[in-house]
A and B are shown apart, each in its own frame.
Chain A
Amino acid sequence: GAVVSQHPSWVICKSGTSVKIECRSLDFQATTMFWYRQFPKQSLMLMATSNEGSKATYEQGVEKDKFLINHASLTLSTLTVTSAHPEDSSFYICSARRQGRSNQPQHFGDGTRLSIL
């Protein structure tokens, strides 16, 4: 079964709305989680690395004030798309790897399809 839960799975909202997406590791602790964005027929592009108890690390070209990341506990990271516009419409997906273990695969959430009208 899923070891990383992502919610909501689908959001449709008006331009200017802020949208929060949650990513939870269900049976393990993750000091680090990752947020990706995937446009139609394209690859998963790393947006940021979410670090528990500290600031997220953003990839070049990703606006930190636009995409707010909070990682307040060892099992939860949130991504808030602030003042969303149609160009922010995309598939957002998080992933995590079990803390403290090497040779473990990344576990992905089911993704959130965000549509801004």
Chain B
Amino acid sequence: GENVEQHPSTLSVQEGDSAVIKCTYSDSASNYFPWYKQELGKRPQLIIDIRSNVGEKKDQRIAVTLNKTAKHFSLHITETQPEDSAVYFCAASANQAGTALIFGKGTTLSVSS
């Protein structure tokens, strides 16, 4: 089955700096890669996703890149703000209704002002 590795487990940056979180996956059949932000005690919130027919996607300060050959994908947050502080999870799955998301272990991002 799919295995998703995520690094780093914790990341501390100064406000305004960029943050990068990296993930690798094992199953070459996976073709859907979302990123979630989770605040304590709440549901994961989808912040951006990318499918395997695309190499990069951007939404304002957030971008995701995908390297299918190397089986890795990354989240980039620019101009970080204190409200970006949260736990971020990457995930992977085949993009079919009956296929579960497999999550990385998460990255705790702390943005200090």
Q: Does A pair with B?
A: yes
A residues within 8 Å of B by Cβ? 30-32, 34, 42-46, 49, 51, 91, 93, 95, 97-106, 108-111, 113
- Do the beta carbons of B97 and A95 come within 8 Å of each other? no
Q: A110 touches which one: B43, B51, B96 (CB < 8 A)?
A: B43
Q: Could you say which of B41, B96, B98, B104 contacts A43, with CB atoms under 8 Å apart?
A: B104
Interface size class of B (residues with CB under 8 A): 20 to 34
Give B25-39 as 1s and 0s: 1 = Cβ < 8 Å from A's Cβ atoms.
000000000100000
Contact among A42, A101, A111 for B42, CB-based, below 8 A: A111
B110 CB to nearest A CB, Å: 14
Pull 19 A–B residue pairs with CB atoms less than 8 Å apart, ordered by A. A31-B97, A42-B105, A42-B106, A43-B103, A43-B104, A44-B103, A46-B100, A46-B101, A98-B97, A100-B97, A101-B97, A102-B96, A103-B51, A105-B49, A106-B46, A106-B101, A111-B42, A111-B43, A113-B41
Distance, CA A43 to CA B3, complexed state (A): 13
Look across to chain A and name the residue whose beta carbon is closest to the beta carbon of B108. A41
Contacts of A113 in B (CB 8 A): 41
Tell me, rounded to whole Å, the shortest Cβ–Cβ distance linking A99 to chain B. 6
